[in-house]
Chains A and B, each alone.
Chain A
Amino acid sequence: MATPGICDSANLNGGQKLAVKYFTVAITLFGAQVLFGLLAGLQYLMPDFLYGVLDFSVNRMVHINALVVWMLYGFLGSVYWLLEEESQHEIVGLKLGNVIFWVLTAAVTVVVLVFLLVQVGPGKESTIWLINEGREYIEAPRWADIGIVVSVLVVFYNVAATFGKGRYTGIAGVLVLDLLALFGIYLAGMFYTTNISIDQYWWWWVIHLWVEATWEVMVACIMAYGLMKVLGVRRKIVETWLYIEVALMFGSGILGLGHHYFWIGTPEYWFSIGGVFSALEPIPLVAMVVHAVFDAGARHAKNSNHPTMAWLIAHAFGNFFGAGVWGFMHTLPQINLYTHGTQWSASHGHLAFFGAYATIVIAMFYLAVQKWRGDVWMSGGLPGNGWKWKWALGLLNLGMVGMTMSMLVSGYVQSQIERAIEGSSWIGYFAAQSHHWFVQGMWWREVFGVMFAAGFVLLVWDLLTIGCGEQRKLVPASDSV
């Protein structure tokens, strides 16, 4: 093995080399997400800023699409990262995997350039095929949809075939089925219909079932691998718990789709389905709390990678508050009637996406960097006491909590003035938007956004430098795989 402390691809297996490429694009898109988020946030405060050049709609579209794509890159990268170790077999179609990576990345680049430079088109189907589909989160034009589907299929092939030839573990079984679902569900968003109720019905299949079902399960797989790796938890226990979590998450999450079907024209029975399953959704979170305490008590928590461990803890808290507390606060139809489509949704969305997904992908980044530099020491006593990763962790989390709180204040004002009193009319909307509490919330959101951006810069700097020149090797966690 090469000298420890420098990035050397000789330290990585084939899948991990490919994973590093995915991670690099992921963090670049994370940067784009932060940048365009700041621009869009600023337009709430200075409406003429970039008006007619990069309008709010464009900035916001890039902001949320960068989010979806960087998470997807993070997950696909993570899957490639663990694939060879988990299957104990070389990746079957590594060359194809590499080709597809470059094709997908080129396609993403073209899509972003078209979003920024062409922006909109005439009201024809050709616009939907070539420029912009105009449906939140899945704006990517149809040609790119097909590209995404093909790419996910290639990843699916690589994962299924590699596990098939090597060791087919419990994690493998869940992962293969989950990738298949990820591919299948995306198809539900790939057609045009004039009927907006049916349009939004299937649109929520993609958004909800990706985000609240298949992504959650993918994270559970990555987490299972991470727990064996970092804490040395035994496979038998990890895999049993993976099944328990899948049962709880799919059991509450699939029909939890109902809470999006209150107001889009769908029948009233969705009130009860959405209400019941929303009340169930905290159960997997309670399970995680009890199990985490049990686990921590059953072993003397030692770990071989402090930044990864810290981000996994941030994941637990972020998931609990973002999805659990923030979700349940406005999910019952009796109150959702007022909060649906206000800054409440934005507040919940920010904390939940960050807490549940960004944190775990960042944890994987640190795990990758450690291996890449030759399995170096990343526990206590790093140079400068590890100030960079600690400050990055602090700034990113505080920035996010601050943004969430600010939008909560704005959302509260909006649900009262615009929704309850004025009933979503034009006058009511702007009465709320110009209320001084709302405006203050938007200001603080921008301030905390800048704090978040500073944390992002520090995170990139840290990932580029942590472990450089480190001579100590890691001490493996107790009884690992």
Chain B
Amino acid sequence: MIEPTGLADFFTIFFSSAMVILLGALYALLFAYARIRAMPLLMPLAYLSYAGLFISTLFLAQAANLLSHPLWETVVACMLLGYLLAPHGIWHLCVGTHAAGAEKDAVTEVIPESMTKEA
């Protein structure tokens, strides 16, 4: 079911799994920032973070022997796809929920144009 990792791979595992989470957050942060501030120049940086996440995940998968079993391969695939799509989905949710909220309460809130464009 699992193949314990080798002693030499310890550092790779700790480092790459920390990088997965950190780059995941950086990607989400840059992605959201690029949209809300309408700074399309940041978007390549966001995807660069995701590329880093992609590579970190592969390193992690290699070191933790995840690619030797179909189940763990699926987990890796889900991580790669999930982290790519999650910020997109949550962004749409933000726009959607705030639009719904604004309509009901009819309170003046400044929603930058850049935010509503995407929806």
Q: Do chains A and B touch in the complex (CB under 8 A)?
A: yes
Interface, chain A (partner B; CB < 8 A): 234-237, 240-241, 244, 268, 271-272, 275-276, 279-280, 282-283, 285-287, 289-291, 293-294, 297-300, 320, 324-325, 328-330, 332-335, 337-338, 412, 415-416, 420-421, 479
The 10 closest A-B pairs by CB, nearest first: A297-B36, A293-B32, A237-B101, A236-B101, A334-B64, A294-B94, A290-B90, A289-B28, A420-B7, A290-B32
> Is there contact, CB below 8 Å, between B111 and A298?
yes
> Is there contact, CB below 8 Å, between B101 and A287?
no
**Secondary structure of the B contact surface, majority rule:** helix
Taken together as a complex, chains A and B put the C-alpha atoms of A2 and B96 apart, in Å, by: 44
Name A298's closest neighbour in chain B (CB-CB): B111
The one of A280, A298, A330, A415 that contacts B110, using a Cβ cutoff of 8 Å: A298
Task: Count A/B pairs, Cβ under 8 Å.
Answer: 137
Taken together as a complex, chains A and B put the C-alpha atoms of A275 and B69 apart, in Å, by: 13
> Is there contact, CB below 8 Å, between B105 and A328?
no
What 9 new A-B contacts, CB under 8 Å, besides A271-B2, A287-B90, A329-B14?
Answer: A234-B102, A234-B105, A234-B107, A275-B75, A282-B24, A290-B28, A290-B87, A298-B110, A479-B107
> Is there contact, CB below 8 Å, between A237 and B97?
yes
Contacts of A276 in B (CB 8 A): 75, 78
> Is there contact, CB below 8 Å, between A293 and B36?
yes
> Is there contact, CB below 8 Å, between B64 and A335?
yes
Q: Mark B10-47, 1 if CB is under 8 A from A, else 0.
A: 10011001101110110011011100110000000000
> Is there contact, CB below 8 Å, between A294 and B115?
yes
Contacts of B101 in A (CB 8 A): 234, 236-237, 240
Contacts of B110 in A (CB 8 A): 298-300
Contacts of B72 in A (CB 8 A): 275
Taken together as a complex, chains A and B put the C-alpha atoms of A190 and B82 apart, in Å, by: 39
> Is there contact, CB below 8 Å, between B4 and A334?
yes
> Is there contact, CB below 8 Å, between B90 and A286?
yes
Interface centre among A297, A325, A329 (most CB of B within 10 A): A297
Contacts of A421 in B (CB 8 A): 7
Taken together as a complex, chains A and B put the C-alpha atoms of A182 and B45 apart, in Å, by: 43
> Is there contact, CB below 8 Å, between B90 and A291?
yes
Q: How far is the CB of B76 from chain A (nearest CB, A)?
A: 9
Taken together as a complex, chains A and B put the C-alpha atoms of A106 and B96 apart, in Å, by: 50
18 contacts between A and B (CB under 8 A): A234-B101, A237-B98, A240-B101, A272-B1, A276-B78, A279-B79, A282-B24, A283-B82, A287-B86, A289-B25, A291-B94, A328-B21, A330-B14, A334-B5, A335-B13, A335-B14, A415-B10, A479-B105
